[in-house]
Chain A
Amino acid sequence: MVSLTKRYRFSASHRLHNESLSAEENARVFGKCNSPYGHGHNYIVEVTLRGPIGPSTGMVMDLGLLDRAVQQEVLDRFDHTHLNLDVANFQGRVPTTENLCVEIYNLLCGRLEGGKGGAHLEKVRLEETSSNSFEYAGVTADDLEQTPREKR
């Protein structure tokens, strides 16, 4: 089994704001990320697939399939948008990079699972800046053993 990772880039703006909190609470919880007009990042998303090497192709997956899935599910949806205002996925959900990372994983999972060759989505890593990054590998056995936490 081999893990293969490909990196993509998109730019988007967001504002961290929860309608159910007061203005003061939003300012306290989200700090300058609560600035009303939003702010932007150059995001880097790393998509990792894991699977056996196809004996006739030498490849884990046709990278053209991966590129198309990422283009259609992620880049077309998020690139050069305001995540709060332009993207249906974040209506009623704060577009933190944590939530964006989980959303990208779920969007790609539906496209990449069950393809021929047996590769599966292993994880998504999302960099908001070169100093901040988040990883999500789906629900694991460890998650299920823990007490469910309140959704953000």
Chain B
Amino acid sequence: MIYLTRRAEFSASHYYHNPDFSAEENRRIFGKCNNPNGHGHNYTVEVTVAGEVDETTGMVLDLKDLKAVLENEVLQLMDHKFLNKEVPVFATRIPTTENIAVEIWSLLAAKLPAGRLHRIRLYETDDLYVDYYGE
């Protein structure tokens, strides 16, 4: 079994707000992330695929195919977007880094051309990242 990781970057804005909370609660819980105009990050997503090395190609999967899936499923949806307003799933779910990582997993898991999705690591900044293993 080999683990292969591909990295991609996207930039997006978001804000944290729960309509079930009062304005004061939202400010207290989410702090400056509650600014309704949003703020942005350069996200780095690392997609790790587990699989066996194919004997004829020497590869787990064709990296071009993984790049295309990542581009079509994630980057086109999220890059240069205001996540709360432009990505439907985040109209009702707060686009925290935790929730974005889980969403990227569900976008990619069924679309991999080969291998098995092992981990999504999503960096919000160099100093903060989330890992999701699908459960």
Contacts and interface: CB of A to CB of B under 8 A. Distances in A.
Interface of A: 1-8, 53, 56-60, 62-64
A1 B132 CA distance: 7
A14 to B, nearest CB: 24
Considering residues A1, A2, A62, A64, which has the most beta carbons from chain B within 10 angstroms of its beta carbon? Answer: A2
Contacts of A6: 127-128
Interface in B82-135: 93-99, 101-102, 126-133, 135
A99 B16 CA distance: 38
A60 B128 contact: no
A4 B96 CA distance: 11
A3 B99 contact: no
Contacts of B127: 6-8
A58 B129 contact: no
B40 interface: no
Given A1-B135, A2-B101, A64-B31, A58 B130 contact: no
A2 B98 contact: yes
Given A2-B101, A2-B102, A64-B31, A57 B96 contact: yes
A2 B29 CA distance: 19
Considering residues B99, B126, B130, which has the most beta carbons from chain A within 10 angstroms of its beta carbon? Answer: B130
Contact of B128 (A1, A3, A7, A62): A7
A59 to B, nearest CB: 5
15 contacts: A1-B135, A2-B102, A3-B131, A3-B132, A4-B128, A4-B131, A5-B129, A8-B127, A53-B102, A56-B21, A57-B94, A57-B96, A58-B93, A58-B99, A62-B29
